[in-house]
Amino acid sequence: MNSNSRNLNAQELASFCRKKGFLYQSSEIYGGVSGVYDYGHIGTLLKKNFQNSWIKYFKSLHENFYEIQTGQIMHERVFKASGHLENFYDPIVEIEGQDETFRADHLIEEKLSQRAEDLTIDEMKELIVSKKLLGDIDYSKVKITNLNLMFDVHMGPTKGTKAYLRPETAQSPFVNFKAQFELQRKKLPMGLMLIGKVFRNEISPRNLNLRTREFEQAELQIFFNPNTLNEKHNKFDEIKDIKLPVKLVNSTTDNEVEYKSVEELLTYGVHEMYAYYLARVFLFYRDVLKLNINLRFLELNEKERAFYNKMHFDIEMKMHSINKWVEIGGVHYRTNHDLSSHEKESNISMTIQDEARQEKVLPHVLELSFGVDRNLYAIIDQSTFINEENNQTTMHMTSKLSPISVGIFPLMNKEPLTKVAYELKELFVEEDIETVVETSGSVGKRYARNDEIGTAYCITIDYETIEEGDNKDTITIRNRDTQEQKRVHKDEVVGVVKQLLRGKISFEEL
């Protein structure tokens, strides 16, 4: 990014996402559905690249981690056991005689710039009324109640079986635990990971896909023997010196971020295993997504976190477009709360034999949770810049995430240049490299269009590619980030791009 460039504001970002095919409101031709978004052709590619990167990275952390796919409609008793039927509420502000509603804690946070997660309904109402956060109205008509966020489903022609659209993916691994433990040769720790849709009747959807009613989560539930919690983690020394951006409950500074080594976190009561996975999450953002700037791990206090979480760090990103920290994931030590609840409700024992230690245990769970849509917002927010001199927008993201890896441009829209272009595209497609051939407009305009959607490399086929001369059989490769160009033999270009995308070589080394 040069000195004349800046990030997009919220309105510009929403317009950009719509214009370039990242995402837009669902059922748009009918006025849209509030809190539901469709991903266009470019957004779908970006989403798949994020999901594939997430699966590849976290699955590699342990040989006993497995991916599963599960149903989105779940039995009513699942949510009776989990406590969702009784406790899954958000505080809603209603004004008598008006249709508009507000989420109480968010209203306070936005108007007063203070966290409100640990406030009671009475405390929220007192703040809203005393500070007149709703403007000049009759506050005797203000009512705050709790709204259950789940969507219920009646199944079958007689509506006899009641079920729910799941409000989180976490319950799916919990109800699958016993079967998967038997299938995976009864070894702990065992990780069950999945990416799936969840549904919440959000009170006030806002900020594009940051707060919606239908969204996706990527979660890894790690089941482990609780008697190993205080033991040394066998890979802790690999990450102990890494500095993590944190905001701790007992922090003595007002800074939004401070840096603590992974080993230093142990002095704050963080277990080695927890600290190890906190570090691995950080490395996912730093080394895979290249998004470690504006990132922090926020520790929640006892009032803010769920009662069953013994330790809870939110993964937050400082979004340029709305100038605030936004939760995009979390690391939670859930103890045995979930398995014991399902054991009680189902009358099926979740206690297992840890054969490595020859003891019976009810496993505890460490949860790594990521909002897919929020992470995609973060990627676009952090990667997109506009040059105020020429009004040109560019996305600077790691090539692992680029929706289009390669753009191929024949200099002119005529044979034999186009023939070479489409032959090259077939070779890239065979290597599963997302490629587009563009023939309309000047090469400069084609570069600009592809810079806008983050295309990593652009290839230009000119007459030197097909005619005799010093550069015979060579084509030009252009680097999006530096705009540097180099010529490569056309028979080698697929292999060269493949190495560039995998980080095996740098563009400077060509």
Q: Distance of CA 144 to CAs 16, 83, 104, 177, 441, Å?
A: 36, 22, 7, 38, 57
Question: For residues 396 and 481, is the Cβ–Cβ distance under 8 A?
Answer: yes
User: Is the pLDDT at 188 greater than 90, yes or no?
Assistant: yes
Encode burial over 73-109: b for 16+ CB neighbours within 10 A, e otherwise.
ebbeebbebbebbeebebbbbbbeeeeeebbbbbbbe
Same domain, yes or no: 433 and 491: yes
The pLDDT tens digits for 415-444 are 999 999 999 999 999 999 999 999 999 999
Q: What is the dihedral of CA 249, 251, 254, 258, to 10 degrees?
A: -100
Same domain, yes or no: 216 and 119: no
Q: Distance of CA 461 to CAs 152, 331, 408, 493, Å?
A: 56, 48, 8, 12
Same domain, yes or no: 248 and 353: yes
- Per-residue pLDDT at 473: 87
The pLDDT tens digits for 131-146 are 999 999 999 999 999 9
* 501 in a structural domain: yes
* 15 in a structural domain: no
Residue type for 109, please?
E
Question: For residues 50 and 375, is the Cβ–Cβ distance under 8 A?
Answer: yes
User: Is the pLDDT at 476 greater than 90, yes or no?
Assistant: yes
Least reliable range by pLDDT among 15-24, 115-124, 288-297, 394-403: 115-124
Give strand pairing partners of 218: 195, 370
Q: Which of these, 448, 432, 429, 431, lies nearest to 440 by C-alpha position? A: 448
Rounded to an integer, the average pLDDT of 285-291 is 97
- Per-residue pLDDT at 456: 97
* 388 in a structural domain: no
Q: Distance of CA 29 to CAs 24, 26, 32, Å?
A: 11, 9, 7
User: Is the pLDDT at 471 greater than 90, yes or no?
Assistant: no
- Which domain CATH number covers 259? 3.30.930.10
Residue in this structure with the two tokens 């077939």, named with its chain if needed: 426
Radius of gyration of the chain, Cα coordinates, nearest whole angstrom: 26
* 257 in a structural domain: yes
* 4 in a structural domain: no
The pLDDT tens digits for 358-416 are 999 999 999 999 999 999 999 999 999 999 889 999 999 999 999 999 999 999 999 99
* 389 in a structural domain: no
Same domain, yes or no: 363 and 450: no
Same domain, yes or no: 176 and 306: yes
What are the E-state strand segments in 225-363?
Answer: 243-247, 258-261, 295-299, 311-319, 324-335, 352-354, 359-361
Same domain, yes or no: 192 and 316: yes
Structure-block tokens of residue 287: 């080394």
Burial of 500 (0-12, 13-18, 19+ CB in 10 A): buried
- Which domain CATH number covers 495? 3.40.50.800
Structure-block tokens of residue 77: 């008793």
Same domain, yes or no: 137 and 113: yes
Q: Phi and psi (nearest 5°) for 207?
A: 55, 60
pTM, rounded to two decimals: 0.93
Q: Which of these, 249, 266, 251, 192, lies nearest to 224 by C-alpha position? A: 192
Considering the chain, what is the average pLDDT of its residues? 94
* 300 in a structural domain: yes
How confident is residue 117, by pLDDT bands cut at 50, 70 and 90?
confident
Sheet of 101-103: strand order equals 101-103, 89-95, 142-148
Angle of helix 372-383 relative to helix 41-59, nearest 10 degrees, comes to 110
- Domain that includes residue 296, residue range: 51-75+165-371
Structure-block tokens of residue 387: 């040059």
Rounded to an integer, the average pLDDT of 238-249 is 97
Same domain, yes or no: 125 and 175: no
Same domain, yes or no: 355 and 465: no
Rounded to an integer, the average pLDDT of 168-175 is 97
* 139 in a structural domain: yes
How confident is residue 469, by pLDDT bands cut at 50, 70 and 90?
low
Same domain, yes or no: 65 and 97: no
- The domain total for the chain is 3
Same domain, yes or no: 442 and 306: no
Same domain, yes or no: 264 and 122: no
Rounded to an integer, the average pLDDT of 86-104 is 91
The pLDDT tens digits for 299-350 are 999 989 988 999 999 999 999 999 999 999 999 999 999 999 999 999 999 9
- Per-residue pLDDT at 470: 66
The pLDDT tens digits for 485-504 are 999 999 999 999 999 999 99
Q: What percent of the chain is modeled with pLDDT above 90?
A: 87
